[in-house]
Amino acid sequence: MSSDASPAPAKTPVTLRQVAASAGVSVATASKALNGQGRMTAETRERIRETAQRLGFRPNSLAQSLLRRRSFTVGLLTNDTYGRFSLPLMAGVSDALVDAGVSVFLCNVEDDMRLAQLHVEAMLDKRVDGIIATGKRIDRHLPVDLANLRIPVIYAFTQPDPDAVGFESDDAGGARLAVEHFCRLGRKRIAHVTGPASFAVVHERARAYREVLAEHGLPVAEPLLGAWSEAWGHEAVAKLFDGKAGGAGAPDAVFCGNDQIARGVIDALRERGIGVPDDVGVIGFDNWEIVAEATRPPLTSVDMNLSALGREAGLALLSLVGGQPAAPGIRKLPCRLVVRQSCGRPPGG
Amino acid sequence: MSSDASPAPAKTPVTLRQVAASAGVSVATASKALNGQGRMTAETRERIRETAQRLGFRPNSLAQSLLRRRSFTVGLLTNDTYGRFSLPLMAGVSDALVDAGVSVFLCNVEDDMRLAQLHVEAMLDKRVDGIIATGKRIDRHLPVDLANLRIPVIYAFTQPDPDAVGFESDDAGGARLAVEHFCRLGRKRIAHVTGPASFAVVHERARAYREVLAEHGLPVAEPLLGAWSEAWGHEAVAKLFDGKAGGAGAPDAVFCGNDQIARGVIDALRERGIGVPDDVGVIGFDNWEIVAEATRPPLTSVDMNLSALGREAGLALLSLVGGQPAAPGIRKLPCRLVVRQSCGRPPGG
DNA sequence: GCGATAAGAGAAAACCTTTTCCCAACCAAG
DNA sequence: CTTGGTTGGGAAAAGGTTTTCTCTTATCGC
């Protein structure tokens, strides 16, 4: 075919000036025509629109940003590149922003102050409209101070500065969901195996665990604190069940601090010939699907709704950038229990 | 303290004009002083530098970009938000670019053509210097055509357009590493359990597996194709060992297509009372640390060096943006065997 | 002391778009 | 025929930086 209908990939982008020249008007008129501003004959407006279309004109976002003092760009700062927490969160953020035409700079700072500073300065130089800070631990600060930045900052799943807006998952609420589910199923001796004492969430979840058991008049066993690993799940089973074979004191349910511990617990129980969920129910935390679904039986787990959390954070930043004031403080978003087969069915069901 | 030494977070960024006014020179001179251009007395230059420092001047990157027609910004397009492949890759990319002052727009497009188009246009409008395309499958295209974009595009861990530059891991080489390691350890009957036939890497690794066995004069069992899951690892063990108890035909080594399959294989072997690595050695693929290290015994696995791959891709894009030509085609980067305890030690060791 | 040269610094254009202000023309009313 | 209002469209400034060109002044050799 000699007539090529493709939009002719120009070497250099088409400018408004070229559109104006081609349509035989001034750049001012062209701009107004394309933005629906100003007054002109419908015919002129349409002619300019068609010309722009034909030439494949797209306004230079840099020039617009310079003028509007708004870059339609935000920075996402994280120290959790490899982790699985920041990923769904990032997806949620991006999802909330893409429809507003806002792009996201991803900045992984590890735990390196120098790198963090470098990235923040780069973002500031590029005139990001705002920053979302996130990390792998809800109870730790990023290795950089974002307090006096003259652009809005939102914290998600990481410790906010005072007077800042932060979003977190409601860990205590999530723990309640799990333990109450066990109670509803008629479990009586519910144990809690969780991570190290140095994590704030460990205490928060343990507190909720104790509260729910007390509310139901059930015995409260001291939570077992260890590591966030399968190996610790194994060990914990030994502690819980040794010397109590078939026993009076042995738990009939284990609420675990994460899915890896739960996996270790289930594997250890199977090795001891203890049936899951018939003899002992197990619930995990994080709902890390690749683990929860590979567990035998598939693991019931608390999902922190991180993607929704990211969305909320993105929308909050957008509103802050738009000039809406926001009360500082931490907003907790509810968790959700994903029921699979490791916790058993209700007696009547 | 009444004297506040902090750099006074200005409500609005300080401009070069303000620096110039404060130093009593023109903007032109100020610009030249700060960039080491032009001719002026060392004293003038120093005075301007100090003024800029004192005022906390940082050049507006938007204005610079507009003028230089270079935004020091690249787009990273992926359809693998939740996956573990793109993450180390992204970290490598970011790492390679941060030192050049280049920031990365993260764009997750899932498998949505409309979303992909939207993101690409947003990036083009924002005048990114180039794009890195990555994905969850090495043998699939992203849901968008990046072929005629008038900015450089590099493909990493995803199928490149013809005439484009792509980086991939050398899967065949990785498979060789694993199988040759088994050979060195004196294993004679090496099985291969891997993923579905629809994946190109399955065939590539299987071919290498066959080649190495042939080179060593060992019997080649037909690779077992299934799913990328633990469950399939279990099943495969049944297929491999049923009816061959302690047997002549049973394998003494299993090379697995990923770490999850390997995990399933090891668990199934333990359930059968078959010792790992004493009776059967196991090697996985991907070196997904959280799985490989939780396996009992810890899993030897092939690492695709995705972070290095990301670095290479980033550097290649940088050089393309800088005007250096690059020959189109696919560059394969070597894998690396991470030896843990699931494969056994050499007879002499 | 004079022309040539170099040094130091500023004016202005360029990058691209948006917006405000202004101008010319046209129409209707007085 | 003037006046006042409206309509269609353009000129110019703004946003912040870089770079080229130009201008002034000082220095040097003769």
* Mean pLDDT, range B57-77, rounded to an integer: 95
pLDDT mean over A193-207: 97
Query: Which residue is closest to C19 in terms of CA–C1' distance?
Result: A28
Query: Measured between CB atoms, which of A62, A81, A105 is closest to B91?
Result: A81
In a domain, B139, yes or no: yes
Q: Is residue A347 included in any domain, yes or no?
A: no
Range scoring the smallest mean pLDDT among B57-71, B73-87, B209-223, B281-295: B73-87
Residue A299 sits in the same domain as residue A178: yes
Residue B347: inside a domain:
no
- Give the integer Cα–Cα distance in Å for B129 and B124: 9
CB atoms within 10 A of CB A238: 11
> How far in angstroms lies nucleotide C9's C1' from the CA of residue B25?
8
Query: How many whole angstroms separate alpha carbon A311 and alpha carbon A88?
Result: 10
3-state helix, strand, coil split of chain A in percent (to 5) is 40, 15, 45
Question: What is the rounded average pLDDT of the residues B192-197?
Answer: 98
Instruction: Find and give the residue nearest to D12, measured CA to C1'.
Output: A28
Of B12, B14, B62, B124, which to mutate for an interface test with A (greatest number of A Cβ within 10 Å)? B62
A147 touches strand D (CB under 7 A): no
What is the domain count for chain A?
A: 3
**Torsion-angle region of B217 (φ positive above 0: left; ψ -120 to 50: alpha; else: beta):** left
Q: How far apart are CA B175 and CA A75, in angstroms?
A: 39
pLDDT of A344 > 90? The answer is no
Q: In the predicted model, what is the mean pLDDT of residues B291-316?
A: 95
3-state secondary structure A224-264: EECCCCHHHHHHHHHHHHCCCCCCCCCCCEEEECCHHHHHH
Q: Based on the domain organization, do A16 and A96 belong to the same domain? A: no
If one counts every other C-beta atom within 10 angstroms of the C-beta of residue B1, the result is 4
A61 in B contact zone (CB under 8 Å): yes
Cβ separation of B126 and A82 shorter than 8 Å?
Answer: no
* Residues near chain C strand, CB within 7 A: A 12-13, 15-17, 27-28, 31-32, 34-35, 37-38, 57, 59-60, 63-64, 66-68; B 24-29, 38-41, 44, 63, 66-67, 69
Residues A33 and A122 reside in one and the same domain: no
Same domain, B107 and B254: no
| Residues forming beta bridges with residue A285, ordered by sequence position | A302
Q: B33: Cβ under 7 Å from strand D?
A: no
Contact B149 A82 (CB under 8 A): no
Distance in Å, residue B38 CA to nucleotide C8 C1': 9
The bridge status of strand B153-156 relative to strand B103-108 is: unpaired
pLDDT tops 70 at residue A5: no
Domain membership of residue A56 (yes or no) is no
Rounded average pLDDT over A249-274: 95
Which residue has tokens 């190109």? B200
Q: What is the dihedral of CA A244, A245, A251, A254, to 10 degrees?
A: 120
Q: b or e along B135-165 (b: 16 or more beta carbons within 10 Å of the residue's beta carbon)?
A: bbbbeebbbbebeebebbbbbbbbbbbeebb
> Measured between beta carbons, which residues in chain A are less than 8 angstroms from residue B118?
98
Q: What is the DSSP letter of A219?
A: -
Residue type, A194: T
Confidence of residue A37 (pLDDT cuts 50, 70, 90): confident
Q: Kindly report the nearest CA distance between residue B88 and chain A, in angstroms.
A: 6
Q: Out of A87, A103, A294, whose CB is closest to B82?
A: A87
Segments of chain B assigned E as strands: 73-78, 103-108, 130-134, 153-156, 165-169, 190-194, 224-225, 253-256, 281-285, 300-303, 329-333, 336-338
Distance in angstroms: CA A15, C1' D12:
19
- Classify each residue of A73-100 as buried b or exposed e, where b means 16 or more C-beta atoms within 10 Å of its C-beta: bbbbbbbbbbebbbbbbbbbbbbbbbee
Q: How far apart are CA B271 and CA B253, in angstroms?
A: 17
Residue type, A256: C
CA A70 to C1' C17, in angstroms, rounded, equals: 13
Residues A35 and A107 occupy one common structural domain: no
Q: A40-87 pLDDT, tens per residue?
A: 899 999 999 999 999 999 999 999 999 999 999 999 999 887 778 888
A68 touches strand D (CB under 7 A): no
Cβ proximity of A57 and A14 under 8 Å? yes
Are the C-beta atoms of residues A285 and A252 closer than 8 Å to each other? no
- pLDDT recorded at residue A3: 39
In a domain, A242, yes or no: yes
Which residue from B minimizes the CA distance to A79?
B91
Rg of chain A taking only CA atoms, in angstroms: 28
Instruction: Looking at the structure, tell me whether residues A183 and A265 fall in a common domain.
Output: yes
B324 with B343: CB under 8 angstroms?
no
The residue length of chain A stands at 349
Residues forming beta bridges with residue A283, ordered by sequence position = A255, A300
- Domain residues for the domain of B291 are 171-303
**CATH code assigned at B33:** 1.10.260.40
B49 & B92 share domain: no
Do B34 and B181 reside in the same domain of the chain?
no
The reply to whether B186 and B290 lie within a common domain is yes
pLDDT tens, position by position, A244-258? 655 568 999 999 999
Lowest model confidence (mean pLDDT) among A75-84, A110-119, A323-332, B297-306? A75-84
**Could A118 and B98 be called an inter-chain contact, meaning their C-beta atoms sit closer than 8 Å?**
yes
Average pLDDT in the B272-298 region?
Answer: 94
Q: How far is the CA of A43 from the C1' of C28 (A)?
A: 25
| pLDDT value at B151 more than 50 | yes
Give the whole-angstrom CA distance, residue B335 versus residue B83: 19
Q: What's the Rg (C-alpha) of chain B?
A: 27
Looking at beta carbons, which residues of chain B come within 8 Å of A90?
A: 81, 106, 108
CB count, 10 Å around CB of B334? 12
Q: Does B78 touch chain A (CB under 8 A)?
A: no
Burial class of residue B65 in the structure, from the number of CB atoms within 10 Å of its CB (0-12 exposed, 13-18 middle, 19+ buried): buried
Which of A178, A246, A241, A239 has its CA nearest to residue A213?
A178
pLDDT reported for residue B1: 39
User: Do A197 and A258 fall into the same domain?
Assistant: yes
The upper half-sphere exposure of residue A267, i.e. CA atoms within 13 Å in the direction of its Cβ, equals 27
Residues B235 and B322 in one domain: no
Of the partner residues A6, A72, A126, the one whose CB lies closest to the CB of residue B61: A126
Structure-token pair, residue A197: 């004492």
Q: Do A81 and B63 touch (CB under 8 A)?
A: no
Same structural domain, B200 and B249: yes
Q: What is the per-residue pLDDT for A83? A: 76
Percentage of chain B lying above the pLDDT 70 cut: 94
At B160-185, the pLDDT tens digits run 998 999 999 999 999 999 999 999 99
CA–chain centroid gap for B17, Å, is 43
